[in-house]
Amino acid sequence: MIEQISNQRDKNDMNIVIVGHVDHGKSTIIGRMLVDTDSLPEGKLEQVRETCRRNSKPFEYAFLLDALKDEQSQGITIDNARCFFKTNKRRYIIIDSPGHIEFLKNMITGASRAEAALLVIDANEGIQENSLRHGYMLSMLGIKQVTVLINKMDLVNYDREVYKSIVNEYIKFLNKIDVMPKSFIPVSGMIGDNIASKSNKMEWYEGNTVLEELDDFKNEEMDDNKNFRMPVQGVYKFTRDGDKRRIVAGTVSTGNINVGDEVTFLPSGKKSRIKSIEGFNIAKKYNASAGQPVGFTLEEQIYIKRGEVMVSSKDDSSVVTSRFKANLFWLGNKPMNVGKKYLLKIGTTKVGVTLEKVVRVIDASSLKEQESNTIRKHMVAECIMRTDSAIAFDIATEILETGRFVIIDDYIISGGGLILEEIEDTQMWVRDKVLKRNSRWEKSMIGYEERIRQYNQVPTLIMISGNNSELRKSFAKELEKRLFMDEKIVYYIGISSVLYGIDADIKDISPSSDKEYMRRLAEVANILLDAGLILIVTAKDICNYDLNIIKTSINNHNLISVWIGDNICTDLNPTIKIDEKSIEDGLTDIVSMIYEDKL
Amino acid sequence: MNRLEKLEAKSIYILREAYSEFKNLCMLWSIGKDSTVLLWLARKAFFGHVPFPLVHIDTSYKIPEMIEHRNKVAIDWGLDMIYGQNVKALENKETYPDGNITRIQCCKKLKTEALQKTLSGEGNRFRLNHETKKYEIDDNNEPYEGVILGIRSDEEGTRSKERYFSPRDENNNWDLGDQPPEFWDQFNTDFPLGTHVRIHPLLDWTELDIWEYIKKENIPVVSLYFDQGDGTRYRSLGCAPCTSPIKSNAKTVEAIIEELKTGKLSKIAERSGREQDKEDGGGLEELRKDGYM
């Protein structure tokens, strides 16, 4: 049997997760499948039987899995155990996941690695809290193939009515969350009914055995038909052995792209054309498609960073904003609170995020809704999130891969979410102009890195604010002089240099609520940064909103925000705050920041 | 994409994430087949380059062919090669071959302790000078924040519990019962000062996958894996005194694959030739909690 499989195994491996409430018999079912498919190492079964005999414990199939001392002593699965078995069709990697509520995060870790799931419900005990919760989590994790096993049928005398009532009750629940299981099977892991072979005690059941049902699951296909998306993992320039390539690397998450295609990087909106597809020990490639790890060189050298999403320029379906509505599940020990700052990771982007509003909290097992300002552990919530800067994403129902994110709290992944819809943010009017400008930008033959090497400096905007005009300006001028003496290419602009020239047409239009003058200042800054300069700008009472306009306009360029003066009188959170009596230290600090920043 | 392509893609993704997220990163290379595949995957991920040091823990009892192979590959591929060693234990003859301690205690001294000290920078790191082709004491003793290693979940029980990115606290401890979640290709890459993260790009690979990939990519592996004419070969490599070969006539990668596929070995543990595994039921788990690979 093994020989037959091995020759075709390439196409036919599948990851399966087994979930369900604690003690409903997940490990027993796996143990039974391992024995019935003859997949255990020689002597393992005898060894476990012997251990049981010595400890005067009845033998259980579950013991086969409990490789760890920790687990055996508590009798529960703490983490996901993996094991392998084979049927005539293919090889399975089974992930046994814990049914205990405390270990939901482990269940999610296990389930997210699976292509299909078996959800186990104890016929004798009926539907329990985690039977429901796990069902909900499977749907949120995006696992579409689910078969429900009604286990321990031997304990209810193989009664058809018991089976039917559980099935009906569970379907009712799943319908509410829009999930439809592939099938239901009455089984007994302990006895072996309907696992590998048909049970003769349940003539009333005419469906597949568990193994037949597993063989019926379909392998996940990579999605080539969707729009092209590739989160940039890194931009590499390894110079060893004279390598001159500058490679944009990542894994294609959906769609496909060809050499010669024009591509756009979001959220910056910068464009270029694919010159080549790079790889090590591979045949020359002209096309890259979903699932493949790749590297591209580009025709025009544009400055892009890890975290941007590469899309085809022909397609404008990707969303760029800093606010969105999401469906989120929380796993953190500390509840998630409105107004608190977290980190969000989506694709290869990592950005600060605030929970702006909780629309409703849903108990994942009872589906009861409530209003709240906090999302407690194991709860699901519909909420509005606001990121510190704009990110590129998709609506999860359109492209799942770029429509889901995780939340980091205190260093640890503490929640996950699916994006339901984008919401307009305060930067939309600036961003629209920036995206258009970047797509029309006339690209030079000199790349960002080349300028850095030639000028021996990283272009940086130093934005100086404070409410003492004299102090602000004298600081900026002194800083400019010091950097200039150090042979840096540096330039100082005071806001008034812009107000009476570039802003002459709007200067007297008041009140300018959108702060168009700030956008224009930022546009000037962007040009000078692109030229490779270190730029020092002063303006009074810069607030967070102003800084966001600047950030949106200058894309990936370095920005150091400085507040001079003892008290910050706006909502700005500057990179560095300099007290009036420590001006000299402040100058030294900023100069050293400029020096530390090398490519 | 077939299975090997999917595995390769996942591993490359993990390697690139690690490279982007950790400043002081290294990869452990035991010269064995798994970490050699891992090294090859790094060259895949970084287009022929390996942009971080390779660290080998040299117990001094390694089979000589392993060290020869290490040095040859390091020079041929231009690797930033570093080895670490528990020099003190060797000087004091606190080893199993010297007859002074048990196998497990010996592993603890020459592997676990040597590894901990090499990673933290407390112990000397010996770095290959590509000009002189000799190892010199490295000036850099900054601790590594990220350590990439080639463990596979199918090797034995404990390894099936691992995450792709697995944090260790300042004492190298692994809190098995309370690991952070990991899903949707997002990993735990943020960590408080004093901790480090172990990165496991090969978690989903099996022994057969490894050999099939070695064949597909034509990756050079140490000759000890093949029958040299005496009807034996090593299936898993370690220190000479504690590692024994298995009976096998496999002289080529193809023959090894055939052997694994036909099931002749399918019911014998891969590490059956590794004596330290047998000393105590939970020995390996205890070692791993302390940082053993």
The domains of chain A are located at 2-216, 229-312, 321-425, 447-596
Q: Do A240 and B78 touch (CB under 8 A)?
A: yes
Q: Identify whether the C-beta of residue A449 lies closer than 8 Å to the C-beta of residue B218.
A: no
How far away is chain A from the Cα of B224, in angstroms, using its nearest Cα? 25
> Residue A264 pLDDT > 50, yes or no?
yes
> How confident is the model over A414-431, as a mean pLDDT?
91
Asked if residues B284 and A26 have their Cβ atoms less than 8 Å apart, the reply is no
pLDDT, mean of residues A239-260: 92
Q: Do A84 and B43 touch (CB under 8 A)?
A: no
Q: Which residues 448-507 of A are in CB contact (within 8 Å) with B?
A: none
pLDDT confidence tier of residue A399, bands split at 50, 70 and 90: very high
Beta-carbon contacts of residue A437 (< 8 Å; ≥ 6 apart): A269, A523
Q: Give which of A348, A400, A401 to mutate to test B binding, by max B Cβ within 10 Å.
A: A348
pLDDT at A211: 93
The tokens for A161 are: 């009515």
What are the extents of the domains in chain B? 3-205+278-289, 207-275
Q: Looking at A112-126, B114-128, B182-196, which range is the least confident one?
A: B182-196
Contact A280, A264 (CB under 8 A): no
Helix (H) or strand (E) holding A496: helix A495-499
| Per-residue pLDDT tens digits for B249-266 | 899 999 999 888 876 665
Q: Which of A4, A6, A66, A253 best tests the B interface by mutation, with the highest count of B CBs <10 A?
A: A6
Residues 6+ apart with CB under 8 A from A136: A177, A364, A365, A380
Q: What is the mean pLDDT of chain A?
A: 87
Nearest to A81 among B16, B161, B190 (CB): B161
Percent of chain A whose predicted confidence (pLDDT) is above 70: 92
Beta carbons of A292 and B9 less than 8 Å apart = yes
Burial of A282 (0-12, 13-18, 19+ CB in 10 A): exposed
- Residue B81 CB partners (closer than 8 Å, separation 6+): B53, B54, B56, B70, B71, B74, B127, B128, B135
Q: Which is more confidently placed, A346 or A41?
A: A346
Write down the CATH superfamily of domain A2-216.
Answer: P-loop containing nucleotide triphosphate hydrolases (3.40.50.300)
> Per-residue pLDDT averaged across A110-130, rounded?
89
Kindly state the percentage of chain A with pLDDT values over 90. 51
CB atoms within 10 A of CB B169: 13
Please give the average per-residue pLDDT across B173-195, as a whole number.
80
Q: Are the Cβ atoms of B12 and A251 closer than 8 angstroms?
A: yes
Q: What's the pLDDT at A75?
A: 42
In this prediction, residues A287-307 reach a mean pLDDT of 92
pLDDT of residue A77: 45
Q: Identify the pLDDT of residue A2.
A: 37
CA dihedral B172, B177, B183, B189 (to 10 degrees): -20
Taking the C-alpha atoms of residue A459 and residue A452, their distance in angstroms, rounded to an integer, is 7
pLDDT at B221: 94
Q: Which of B160, B266, B268 sits opposite A81 (nearest CB)?
A: B160
Residue B43's pLDDT is 97
CB contact under 8 A, B188 and A2: no
Q: Which two tokens stand for residue B4?
A: 């090997």
Looking at residue B175, what is its pLDDT?
Answer: 67
The pLDDT of residue B269: 63
CATH fold for the domain made of A229-312:
Elongation Factor Tu (Ef-tu); domain 3 (2.40.30)
Q: What is the mean pLDDT of residues A550-575?
A: 90
Element (H, E) at A405: strand A404-409
Q: Is the pLDDT of residue B29 over 90?
A: yes
Q: Does A229 touch chain B (CB under 8 A)?
A: no
- Nearest CB among B49, B153, B157 relative to A240 is that of B49
Name the pLDDT band for A8 (thresholds 50, 70, 90): very low
Top-level CATH class of A321-425? mainly beta
A70 touches chain B (CB under 8 A): yes
Instruction: Please tell me the number of Cα atoms within 13 Å of A279 on its side-chain side.
Output: 18
A chain contacts of residue B153, beta-carbon cutoff 8 Å:
82
**Which one has a higher pLDDT value, A498 or A248?**
A248
Assess A35–B contact: CB distance below 8 Å, yes or no: no
Is residue A465 within 8 A of residue A540, CB to CB? The reply is: yes
User: Please, which pLDDT band fits residue A69 given cuts at 50, 70 and 90?
Assistant: very low
For residue B132, the distance in angstroms to the closest alpha carbon of chain A comes to: 18
Whether A447-596 and A2-216 are alike in CATH topology: the answer is yes
Q: With beta carbons less than 8 A apart as the criterion, state whether B214 and B69 touch.
A: no
* Interchain CB contact of A10 with B (< 8 Å): yes
> Which CATH number does A447-596 carry?
3.40.50.300
> Looking at per-residue confidence, does A58 or B38 come out higher?
B38
Q: Which amino acid is present at A185? A: I
| Residue A499 to residues A12, A506, A520, A525, A547, Cα–Cα distance (Å) | 67, 9, 9, 14, 17
Cβ of residue A141 closer than 8 Å to a chain B Cβ: yes
Cβ neighbours of A234 in B, within 8 Å:
16, 19-20
Residues 100-119 of chain A whose Cβ lies under 8 A from any Cβ of chain B: 105-106, 108-109, 111-113
Short-list A156, A195, A14, CA closest to A95: A14
- CB interface of A with B, residues 243-272, below 8 Å: 243, 245, 247, 249-251
Q: Which of A82, A113, A238 sits opposite B46 (nearest CB)?
A: A238
CB A494 within 8 A of CB A564: no
Average pLDDT over residues A91-112: 77
With CA atoms as reference, report the closest residue to B79 among B89, B69, B92.
B69
Q: What is the pLDDT of residue A111?
A: 83
Average pLDDT over residues A24-30: 87
Confidence of residue B38 (pLDDT cuts 50, 70, 90): very high
pLDDT tens readout for residues A184-229: 999 999 899 999 999 999 999 999 999 999 999 988 777 778 999 9
Nearest of B233, B257, B226 to residue B247 by alpha carbon: B233
Give the pLDDT of residue A588. Answer: 92
For residue B288, is pLDDT > 70?
no
The least confident of A417-421, B92-96, B161-165, B173-177 is: B173-177
Does residue A576 surpass a pLDDT of 70? yes
Q: Which of B184, B190, B282 sits opposite A112 (nearest CB)?
A: B184
What value does the mean pLDDT take over residues B47-70? Answer: 92
Q: What is the band of A308 on the pLDDT scale with cuts at 50, 70, 90?
A: very high
- pLDDT tier at B3, thresholds 50, 70, 90: confident
> Is B183–A416 a contact, with Cβ atoms under 8 angstroms apart?
yes
More confident residue, B277 or B134: B134
Note the CATH architecture for domain B3-205+278-289. Answer: 3-Layer(aba) Sandwich (3.40)
Question: pLDDT band at residue B282, thresholds of 50, 70 and 90?
Answer: very low
Decide if pLDDT at B286 tops 60: no
pLDDT of A5 reads 41
pLDDT for B203-229, tens place per residue? 888 888 999 999 999 999 999 999 988
Q: Whole-number mean pLDDT of chain B?
A: 85
Q: How confident is the model at residue A513 (pLDDT cuts 50, 70, 90)?
A: low
pLDDT at B132: 94
* B-chain residue closest to A234, CA distance: B20
pLDDT above 90 (res B36) = yes
